[in-house]
């Protein structure tokens, strides 16, 4: 059975976020384990039915990419890579404890999946880990689908990627996970044998680590390991056919080595990568990734057809595929409505997951019947691209004129030492100042008011009073707890990117365009379709109101240009550096307004700075140049005694520590609790401004006690001078409940005071 044209994966959360609701209901003990499993089974079968309806009708065309939480965690459990601290748990209890933690089990670390906004759970392994094939859910799901009438293709994170993304345990922190590759290969061989026994014709192994230079192991080493392991797996007698997919980037350096392993099919990303010149792959099916799985723009079918034809020059049998799993895009455009003419334009310009499946089906028809068979589809695609180029708002003359007039001095601030002296005199903060990152939990009164406002039951004046009450509550709580620098809590914001997208020109937001960020956490990325500019305040009135309630400094909270790009679906018709400067100028105007309102501390968050680092190291310098430049453009128009903060999330910072320093923020807060302050080893000697490594992992429902927080602050002081250290949580608190938030913050303030007294 040959591999048909296909997609590498499909959104797991459900068209109406069914997975999110099932998970959160189960975690809250509102449903039983059996009810949870029934709900997820129904979701899987609904996805298979939908994909069949969309045209993926051939056997193995439908991928099974289901997960309860994360595909990397699934692969770790499949191979028995489970930290010893979960030994007293089993099944789903151990799985969710590794993902989220609980009162007595700290979670595994979580970090970004390549250069996307998806987060994966980092496996932990050492020389004593009992690697073995232990979790049979992949086979069970295949059998479940077969019994329902669907021949699906199981999808599993490949063994090389599983270990390349892993880390050593706390007992062997410097352990090289890749030294266990032979043991993991044995576990995967056992999986293959069981899939063969169950009747699976194909299995897909995803190996995106072969497309990146951003890992401790070199691409050359990973390619050598992959070639050896897949040659071994391909030589097994009892196995399905193997589809080895390399998504997310350029795999040309690995292509010929992989093609020689004996696997039956190879998937490549031909949007961000290419095939090596003169490459040959006779006897292999080449799944050419020509439909972008990460963005929501319609595919240029003429360009895709050209790529597919060029791929045929390898001698391989060519089928059409997506570049990545479609987990990064919303389910469907159906039901999305915008004001005209934007509504007609976006429906002509965009393709969500279901529409991308339809594009694959169309391209498959062209491959099989000849490109003349899809002439009308190609013509419609070309017309949409031509119409978009001249549509109102795509290019705005005043925006282009302003960016063209920028000067180097627009991106520079005064001397950092002088700034620090002036800011300390103005703010008068204690040693080890305490603060939070920005958002606070949103109480039920606020959520009810927001719903009533949408339905028309509550007018704007009434809603504003609710917001003021929420802000007053947050300020009073922080003062009572004893925090030093306060936040207004962001009650007015639905999301740290969408909120600004709704206020800036050049964006559109969706009604049901949800994508998975991690576990049950979903976001609705806005669509950045045109030139960006600011015509009104970006919410400064709420920060001004919060500041009027207290004598302590209240941070003005903004999201930075790089993060707005990363957590949106950005346009692709101009360089991202130009988009970043447009956003930076809009933010610069807002920063100036905040300063004029008397705000002395302004935070411009860039949690996605590392996330967007290109996987190809030859593109790092260009990216870091424009991303740092955009941040500095947004923040360099302030007085020297105005303190600029930034925040960075779940990132491996070593590669970009110089760029973080170059942001020239007065205070940088970073996520560090799960990694036990590991990142601070790269800070020493490089970072001269203040830093606030997170001491409380807010992504876990655990409440850290004062002793634990004291230990983390003390650990931070081994690398950071006391007069440069801030104490704060890892991230914003919106996803946490108030009870755990209050207790954790009290413990944080107590821990900071305890350490202060010892200094």
Q: Which residues are catalytic?
A: 699
Whether residue 266 is annotated as binding a ligand: the answer is no
Residue with tokens 């707890």: 481
| Sign for the pseudo-dihedral over CA of 178, 179, 180, 184 | positive
SS3 call for 556: strand
Label residues 408-441 b or e (16+ Cβ within 10 Å = b): eebbebeebeebbebbeebbebeebbbbbbbbbb
Whether residue 649 is annotated as binding a ligand: the answer is yes
- Could you give the C-alpha distances from 164 to 161, 183, 379, in angstroms and in order? 5, 14, 44
Given a contact cutoff of 8 angstroms between Cβ atoms, the answer to whether 355 and 324 are in contact is no
| Sign for the pseudo-dihedral over CA of 32, 33, 39, 42 | negative
| Sign for the pseudo-dihedral over CA of 319, 517, 492, 630 | negative
Whether residue 605 is annotated as binding a ligand: the answer is yes
Read off the DSSP letter of residue 655.
G
What does the block give as tokens for 449?
């008011």
- Give the Cβ contact number of residue 504 at 10 Å: 22
Given a contact cutoff of 8 angstroms between Cβ atoms, the answer to whether 486 and 553 are in contact is yes
Whether residue 647 is annotated as binding a ligand: the answer is yes
Given a contact cutoff of 8 angstroms between Cβ atoms, the answer to whether 267 and 5 are in contact is no
- Could you give the C-alpha distances from 524 to 442, 494, 514, 521, 527, in angstroms and in order? 18, 10, 5, 11, 9
Whether residue 238 is annotated as binding a ligand: the answer is no
Whether residue 671 is annotated as binding a ligand: the answer is yes
Whether residue 567 is annotated as binding a ligand: the answer is yes
Whether residue 127 is annotated as binding a ligand: the answer is no
Label residues 709-748 b or e (16+ Cβ within 10 Å = b): bbbbbebbbebbeeebbbbbbbbbbbebeeebbbebbebb
The separation between the first and the last C-alpha atoms of the chain, rounded to the nearest angstrom, is 70
CB contact set of 471 (below 8 Å; sequence gap of 6+) = 488, 489, 491, 542, 545, 546, 549
Distance CA 679, CA 719 (A): 10
**DSSP sequence for 69-88:** S-HHHHHHHHTT---GGGTT
Given a contact cutoff of 8 angstroms between Cβ atoms, the answer to whether 482 and 74 are in contact is no
Whether residue 654 is annotated as binding a ligand: the answer is no
Backbone angles phi, psi at 12, to 5 degrees: -90, -15
SS3 call for 518: strand
Distance CA 389, CA 386 (A): 5
Whether residue 438 is annotated as binding a ligand: the answer is yes
Give one word for 456, left, alpha or beta, with left for phi > 0 and alpha for psi -120 to 50.
left
Given a contact cutoff of 8 angstroms between Cβ atoms, the answer to whether 82 and 94 are in contact is yes
Given a contact cutoff of 8 angstroms between Cβ atoms, the answer to whether 296 and 508 are in contact is no
SS3 call for 56: coil
| Paired sense of beta strands 521-523 and 527-534, if any | unpaired
| Sign for the pseudo-dihedral over CA of 104, 106, 108, 113 | positive
| Beta bridge partners of residue 203, listed in sequence order | 242
Whether residue 490 is annotated as binding a ligand: the answer is yes
Rg (CA), the chain: 26
Q: For residue 337, count CB atoms less than 10 angstroms from its CB and return exposed for 0-12, middle for 13-18, buried for 19 or more.
A: exposed
Strands across the sheet containing 527-534? 504-508, 527-534, 569-570
Angle at CA of residue 281, ends 276 and 284, nearest 5°: 135
Distance CA 318, CA 322 (A): 13
Distance CA 257, CA 231 (A): 10
Binding-site residues for L-methionine, please? Answer: 437-439, 490, 605
Binding-site residues for 5-methyltetrahydropteroyltri-L-glutamate, please? Answer: 20, 117, 521-522, 567
Binding-site residues for Zn(2+), please? Answer: 647, 649, 671, 731
Binding-site residues, please? Answer: 20, 117, 437-439, 490, 521-522, 567, 605, 647, 649, 671, 731
């Amino acid at each position: 059975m040959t591999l048909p044209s296909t997609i590498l994966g499909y959104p797991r959360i459900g068209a109406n976020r069914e997975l999110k609701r099932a998970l959160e209901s189960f975690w809250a003990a509102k449903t039983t384990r059996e009810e949870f499993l029934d709900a997820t089974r129904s979701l899987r079968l609904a996805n298979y039915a939908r994909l069949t309806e969309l045209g993926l009708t051939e056997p193995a065309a439908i991928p099974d990419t289901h997960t309860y939480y994360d595909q990397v965690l699934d692969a770790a459990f499949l191979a028995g890579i489970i930290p010893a601290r979960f030994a007293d748990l089993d099944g789903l209890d151990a799985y969710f404890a590794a993902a989220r933690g609980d009162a007595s089990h700290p979670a595994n670390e979580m970090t970004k999946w390549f250069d996307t906004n998806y987060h994966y759970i980092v496996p932990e392994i050492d020389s004593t880990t009992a690697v073995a094939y232990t979790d049979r859910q992949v086979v069970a799901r295949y059998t479940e689908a077969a019994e329902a009438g669907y021949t699906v293709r199981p999808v599993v994170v490949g063994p090389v990627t599983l270990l390349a993304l892993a880390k050593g345990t706390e007992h062997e922190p410097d352990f090289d996970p890749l030294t266990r590759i032979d043991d993991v290969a044995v576990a995967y061989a056992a999986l293959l044998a069981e899939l063969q026994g169950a009747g699976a014709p194909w299995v897909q192994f995803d190996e995106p680590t072969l497309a990146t230079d951003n890992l401790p192991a070199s691409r050359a080493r990973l390619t050598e390991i992959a070639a050896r392991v897949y040659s071994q797996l391909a030589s097994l007698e009892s196995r399905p056919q193997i589809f080895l997919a390399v998504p997310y980037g350029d795999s040309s350096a690995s292509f010929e080595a992989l093609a020689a392993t004996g696997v039956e099919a190879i998937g490549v990303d031909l949007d961000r990568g290419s095939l090596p010149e003169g490459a040959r792959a006779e006897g292999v099916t080449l799944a050419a990734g020509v439909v972008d799985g990460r963005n929501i723009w319609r595919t240029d079918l003429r360009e895709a057809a050209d790529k597919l034809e060029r791929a045929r020059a390898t001698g391989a049998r060519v089928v059409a595929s997506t570049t990545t799993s479609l987990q990064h895009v919303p389910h469907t455009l159906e039901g999305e409505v915008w004001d005209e003419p934007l509504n007609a334009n976006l429906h002509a310009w965009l393709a969500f997951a279901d529409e991308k499946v339809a594009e694959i089906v169309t391209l498959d028809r062209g491959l099989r019947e000849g490109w003349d068979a899809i002439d009308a589809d190609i013509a419609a695609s070309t017309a949409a691209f031509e119409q978009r180029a001249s549509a109102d708002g795509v290019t705005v003359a005043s925006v282009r004129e302003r960016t063209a007039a920028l000067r180097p001095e627009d991106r520079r601030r005064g001397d950092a030492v002088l700034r620090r002296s002036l800011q300390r005199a103005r703010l008068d903060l204690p040693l080890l100042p305490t603060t939070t990152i920005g958002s606070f939990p949103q109480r039920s009164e606020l959520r009810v008011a927001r719903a009533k406002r949408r339905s028309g039951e509550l007018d704007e004046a009434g809603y504003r009073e609710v917001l003021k009450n929420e802000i007053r509550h947050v300020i009073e709580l922080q003062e009572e707890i004893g925090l030093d620098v306060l936040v207004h809590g962001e009650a007015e914001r639905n999301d740290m990117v969408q909120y600004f997208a709704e206020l800036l020109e050049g964006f559109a937001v969706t009604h049901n365009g949800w994508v998975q960020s991690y576990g049950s956490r979903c976001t609705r990325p806005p669509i950045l379709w045109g030139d960006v500019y600011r015509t009104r305040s970006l919410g400064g009135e709420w920060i001004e109101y919060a500041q009027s309630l207290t004598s302590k400094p209240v941070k003005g909270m903004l999201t930075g240009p790089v993060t707005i790009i990363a957590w949106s679906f950005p346009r692709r018709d101009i360089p991202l550096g130009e988009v970043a400067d447009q956003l930076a100028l809009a933010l610069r105007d807002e920063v100036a307004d905040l300063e004029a309102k008397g705000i002395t501390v302004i935070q411009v968050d860039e949690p996605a700075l590392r996330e967007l680092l290109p996987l190809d190291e030859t593109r790092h310098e260009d990216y870091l140049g424009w991303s740092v430049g955009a941040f500095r453009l947004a923040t360099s128009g302030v007085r020297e005694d105005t303190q600029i903060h930034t925040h960075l999330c779940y990132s491996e910072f070593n590669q970009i520590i110089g760029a973080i320093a170059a942001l020239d923020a007065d205070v940088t807060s970073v996520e560090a609790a799960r990694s036990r302050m590991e990142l601070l080893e790269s800070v020493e000697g490089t970072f001269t401004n203040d830093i606030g490594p997170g001491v409380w992992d807010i992504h876990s429902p655990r409440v850290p006690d004062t002793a634990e927080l004291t230990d983390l602050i003390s650990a931070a002081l081994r690398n950071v001078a006391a007069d440069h250290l801030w104490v704060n949580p890892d991230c914003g608190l919106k996803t946490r409940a108030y009870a755990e938030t209050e207790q954790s913050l009290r413990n944080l303030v107590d821990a900071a005071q305890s350490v202060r007294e010892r200094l």
